[in-house]
Amino acid sequence: MKKNFYQSIPKDLKWREDDIIIQSQFTKENDKVCHLLGFNNYIVYMKDLQQEPKKYIKLDFDIKFEILRENVVKKSDDDDSLGQIKGISIIKDLGNETIIQKKYFGGERLIKQWREFLSNRINQWQFHQMFRVYKKIGKGNFASVYLAQKIEDSKKMAIKAFSKQAAYAEENGKEAILNELKIMRQLNHSHIMQMYEVYETQNSLYVALELLEGGSLYDLIKEKTLLSTTQIQQIMVGVLQGLNHMHQKNIMHRDLKLENILFKQQRKMDSVVIADFGLATKVDEPVYLYYRCGTPGYVAPEVINIKDVKGHYSEVCDIFSLGLVFYLLLSGKQAFPGKSYGTVVKQNREATIDFKIKQLQQAPSQAMDLMRKMLEKDPNKRISASDCLKHPFLAEINNQMADDSANDSIDEGDEFGQVATRMNQLNEETIKFDAFRRNAIVNSPGSPGIIDTKQLKQQKIIDSLNQLQMNSPLLNGKIETFDSIPNIGTPKNKKCQNTFQQSPMIKPSQFKQTLPQQQQNQGNPLQKYSQQKN
pLDDT at residue 15 tops 70: yes
Task: Determine the 3-state secondary structure of 119 from DSSP.
Answer: helix
Q: Tell me the average pLDDT across 34-40.
A: 96
Higher pLDDT, residue 513 or 281: 281
The answer to whether 160 is annotated as binding is yes
In the CATH scheme, what architecture does the domain 1-125 have? Roll (2.30)
Question: Range with the lowest mean pLDDT among 20-29, 160-169, 192-201?
Answer: 160-169
Highest mean pLDDT among 131-135, 177-181, 242-246, 419-423: 242-246
Strands (E), 106-177: 123-125, 131-139, 143-150, 156-163
Local confidence band at 432 (pLDDT 50, 70, 90 cut-offs): confident
Local confidence band at 98 (pLDDT 50, 70, 90 cut-offs): confident
Q: What is the pLDDT of residue 224?
A: 82
Q: What is the pLDDT of residue 175?
A: 87
pLDDT tens figures, 265-288 = 998 999 999 999 989 999 999 999
Q: What is the pLDDT of residue 73?
A: 87
Q: What is the pLDDT of residue 454?
A: 64
Local confidence band at 448 (pLDDT 50, 70, 90 cut-offs): low
Local confidence band at 155 (pLDDT 50, 70, 90 cut-offs): very high
Q: Tell me the average pLDDT across 186-190.
A: 96
Q: Tell me the average pLDDT across 447-462.
A: 62
Q: What is the pLDDT of residue 168?
A: 82
368 exposure class (CB count in 10 Å sphere: 0-12, 13-18, 19+): middle
- Does the fold of domain 217-465 match that of domain 1-125? no
Question: Range with the lowest mean pLDDT among 22-36, 128-142, 380-394?
Answer: 128-142
Residues 6+ apart with CB under 8 A from 231: 269
Q: Tell me the average pLDDT across 480-495.
A: 37
Q: Tell me the average pLDDT across 37-62.
A: 94
> Rounded to whole angstroms, how far apart are CA atoms 386 and 374?
12
Local confidence band at 18 (pLDDT 50, 70, 90 cut-offs): very high
Angle at 114 between CA 109 and CA 118, to 5 degrees: 150
Helices 365-374 and 317-331 cross at an angle (nearest 10°) of 150
> Rounded to whole angstroms, how far apart are CA atoms 273 and 275?
6
Q: What is the pLDDT of residue 34?
A: 96
* H or E element that contains 362: none
In the CATH scheme, what architecture does the domain 217-465 have? Orthogonal Bundle (1.10)
Question: Range with the lowest mean pLDDT among 153-167, 248-262, 359-373, 409-423?
Answer: 409-423
Q: What is the pLDDT of residue 532?
A: 36
Higher pLDDT, residue 429 or 416: 429
> Rounded to whole angstroms, how far apart are CA atoms 261 and 193?
10
* Domain residue spans of the chain: 1-125, 217-465
Q: What is the pLDDT of residue 3?
A: 73
Q: Tell me the average pLDDT across 441-451.
A: 54
